[in-house]
Chain A
Amino acid sequence: MPDATFLDSTELVLNMGPQHPSTHGVLRVILKLDGEKVLGTDCVIGYLHRGVEKIAENRTYVQFNPYVDRMDYVAAVSNSLGYCLAVEKLINVEAPPRAQTVRVILTELNRIASHLLWLGTHALDIGALTPVFYCFREREEILKIFENYCGARLTTHAFRIGGLQYELYEGFEQEVKAFCDMFLPKVAEYEELLTNNRIWVKRLQNIGILTAEECKQYGVTGPVLRAAGVRWDLRKAQPYCGYEKYDFLIPTRQNGDTYDRYLVRMEEMRQSVRIIRQAVEGIPDGPAIAKVPKVLKPPMGEAYVSIEAPKGELGYYIVSDGSTQPYRVRVRPPSFVNLQALDRMVRGALIADVVAVIGTLDIVLGEVDR
């Protein structure tokens, strides 16, 4: 215990980030420290606030579609899927089977891309320099498929309300299959690099523990929840886009620490490959987009659709007043909700663990601030 009379304080307040307003993740964490020990944290968010929900009220339903890609820009396809499903529910249209299958393939590819970016940067935060290069190498393959399919790599604008705008290009199936064959040994390679590495294990094991009960209290979803032992995945719990047809497992772990969250995400990548393999085998023929009127005027009402994005439950709540523009769009972003648990996870830990815990939560600040 430090001498309480010395300078009349025992608590040090330290600002962590942001380094520069245009860096990718602008999060400010105010740490209250006792030496190296964290007594409490306070997150200051809003540096990337663009008012996306307000923008929606001044755009038509079709025009708002490109904006959702810019929230979680690492998993733009998942965002687009969630928004399209919500509007489709509002106008009571279902995408044709061909569109649904292609949607599954692209979102699962995007899940892998998102997890790869997480793995690379998380390992980089901990101090493992090698994985980031390998992860970005494999991610490049996925981005190439996206570029060939819809003409953009990151903010794809891949889906439209009612289905797909673009037909599959020639050689799509072969490219996806080749990626699956190439990718599975690479996951084993990452595991070889990290899983048993003593520095990796010591930095992650028993750090940032969040029990299942606490996860439910905070509303935390996604791999963070599953690492605490709760078998909850919206793809199984409320299947959308025909996910009930595919055979895959929900990976769970018991301890709920940072190391378990790492293992859960690694297994999720393997399961995603499994889903893609099943989906790409039987892409049904038929139209790619359902009949949707040119001027969308959904009937008065509201719709909420949530999907399993790479980071957790991503929900879109849309209220329509019968005009061409939504009355209100509310996004339930996984990163924003998961970030709440940061204080609980790092209280009593060391300052270096804060970096590990922020990494393991897999937040994207574009989505937190919206």
Chain B
Amino acid sequence: MDKVASDLQQRVLALISRGVAQATTDEEFDWLARDVFAFQYERCEVYRAYCDRRKQTPQSVAHWKEIPATPTSAFKDFALTCFPVEQAVAEFHTSGTTREQAGKHFLETLELYHAAIGVSFAAHLLDENAEMNGRDARSTLPMMILTPSPEEAPHSSLSHMMGVVMEEFGADDSAYYVEGGQLLLEKLVRDLCELQWAHEPVFLLGTAFAFVHLFDHLDQQNLKFDMSEGSRVMETGGFKGRSRELSKADLYALFERVLGIPTTRVVNEYGMTELSTQFYDATMLVGKRTDGKTVPPWARVLVIDPNTGREAAGNERGLIRIFDLANLWSMMCVQTEDLGIRRVSESGVMEFEVLGRAAGAEVRGCSLNAENIVVE
């Protein structure tokens, strides 16, 4: 790693290690973000070509908000790296559908990635514990993880993240409950029973899809739990047509009704293969159920009006655009295909809410469109 790169990496790491509580000023973020932009413009040829086409270059961009966003689709078409791709220590792939090529995110180092995962995760899912019981409490919860292990799914960024948080924060008896594409329902139920008997809290982590599967199973078996106080859930969205779809509110009600875990201790995570930083509902930070997500100091989130390409007015829906400095080695500014809104939270900080994929636009006429025809 040359000096320019290692200096930048140190600056980003310093920002991450400050934790989520201490916000960055606009000047502070802008200073680093535009340096990262210049770095990525110089080192990633295809990104440079795109910026040149848009006439938005390090010379012309005067503020971080003007930095050109890379569409997530570009991760399918190009290896978007600021280092020789063959030196990648890890690569994560989007799940995608069979007809589509997977998007790929290559990592030069895991240092930034792991730092960003740990700080955000702890702040949104663990730190109230730390305050109550001292720092040790952070590592006492057994994690029941409803995804494949990182060994089984080496290209899944979600499994990788689970590996990181289990290693760092999980109790020794933490385990993965998806093997060979199957949710290990019986083992899950058995282990939940044991924890309930022992009056031990549980930490469940998984996809909304897996949880619906679990709840369907518990319903069939006529089973209900009342997990101990201190139990919590990290749920990450996305059904992608793989199970019956439930609204977030309905799913969270099931955690309370079937597992005895109050909705104030169920936290949604918004993460993407193309990013290094995850975003969480502020629920446990503020002690109150909310769909508003906090933005850590090393990131920014804008909501873009798709009709104008400019920032949407406050409380108007638009496309979520993420600036993630931890993506130093790939693409810092990513244009997602998710709709969201941005607003000031009750506690006075900027937050955003994810409203789901911008798919399923209703066709006003009688034509089929890209969303409702499958070319296979």
Q: Do the two chains belong together in a single complex?
A: no
Which residues of B pack against A, CB within 8 Å? none
